[in-house]
Structure 1
Amino acid sequence: MHNDSDFTDPPPRRLAGLALIRNERGAVLLVEKTYRTGRERFGLVGGSAQPGEPAAIACQRETRKETGLLLVPGQVLTIHHMPANGDAREGHNIVFDCGTINAATRLTRPAAEIADFRWTEPEELDDLVAPYQAWRIRAALTALTSGRTVYLSGHPIAQETNR
């Protein structure tokens, strides 16, 4: 049931646009963020949208800021609903297909928040990224081959407890 303020004063939510960028071997480009630690520090290129900004524009803006690449986001591969967790607001992370680039392409770190880049084989994800990120990236790779967007919600609890 809706109350009178649902449309005039909705709850705050986060929106992010993330880029799935692959090389010619199928490895996925990850960035190492300086403000994160442990397996949280590696993730897909991209980030939060600014107020009123579409996720695709946020993806393109953040990709350029973090790598120096001007890529056009293509197909929506994954929509990942993330519930509120601690200080993090509820939100949606949308992963776009940003194509394939040559592994030798020179990437720049114009953003101080980026410590490094890493090409990662899909089998290496569990050892490098948080379980929810591995789940998200694998879903995006599945969407590439199936041609169908994958919707995820929450965290892969069973995978986290088996680690």
Structure 2
Amino acid sequence: MHDPRLLAKPPVCRLGCLVLVRNQRGDVLLVDPDYMDGLILPGGAGKANEPPHRSAARHLHAQTGITLRLSHIAAVDYNPADRYLERLSLVYDGGTVRDVTLNVLSQKRSGLLGARFVPVRELKNHMAPSQAARVTEALAGHTLPALLHGQRPD
């Protein structure tokens, strides 16, 4: 049964679709956006009706040139409204990529100053505290399957 009241005024909450990618040494891939200080995980906001795993993969490819199939969530982070709108961020586990990927990362991308792998012990030196804490939790190794209408997406 369709109830129009459910869609009359949807809540204002942004969905962040991020990707945790590591190299063979366990370093974490971070991007350096030109619109803020510090490094962050690759990713961005999901579009309306875009499945979050596809949004995360789209942003990862646009920002780094890396194409991955994302199927598991490594962390979910809720940020209440403060300077920005309320936000729910899904961190997808992008697994491990070969160092050969560094050639792709050196290419200049729109909106980014660059991308690089950072050793885990140095994350707090390159990221805002909340961003570094999010990555640390995502690195804990616990994942959940990402479902689309109750099914694993292709």
Q: State the TM-score, normalized to the length of structure 1.
A: 0.79
Instruction: Give 1:139 deviation, angstroms.
Output: 0.4
Q: Is 1:84 the equivalent of 2:81?
A: yes
Aligned twin of 1:36: 36
Aligned twin of 1:121: 119
Maintained 8 Å contact 1:65/1:110:
no
- Give the number of equivalent residue pairs: 139
Aligned twin of 1:54: 51
Aligned twin of 1:153: none
Aligned twin of 2:22: 22
Maintained 8 Å contact 1:29/1:118:
yes
Instruction: Give 1:8 deviation, angstroms.
Output: 2.7
Measured on the aligned residues, the alpha-carbon RMSD in Å equals: 1.8
Q: State the TM-score, normalized to the length of structure 2.
A: 0.83
Q: Is 1:73 the equivalent of 2:70?
A: yes
Instruction: Give 1:104 deviation, angstroms.
Output: 2.8
Aligned twin of 2:95: 99
Maintained 8 Å contact 1:21/1:99:
yes
Aligned twin of 2:130: 132
Runs of 4+, deviation exceeding 2 Å: 5-8, 108-111
* 1:96 partner SS: strand
Q: Which one of the candidate residues 138, 141, 144 is aligned to 2:139?
A: 141
Instruction: Give 1:74 deviation, angstroms.
Output: 2.6
Maintained 8 Å contact 1:33/1:115:
yes
Aligned twin of 1:159: none
Q: Which has the larger displacement, 117-126 or 16-25?
A: 117-126
User: 2: CA distance between counterparts of 1:17 and 1:110?
Assistant: 22
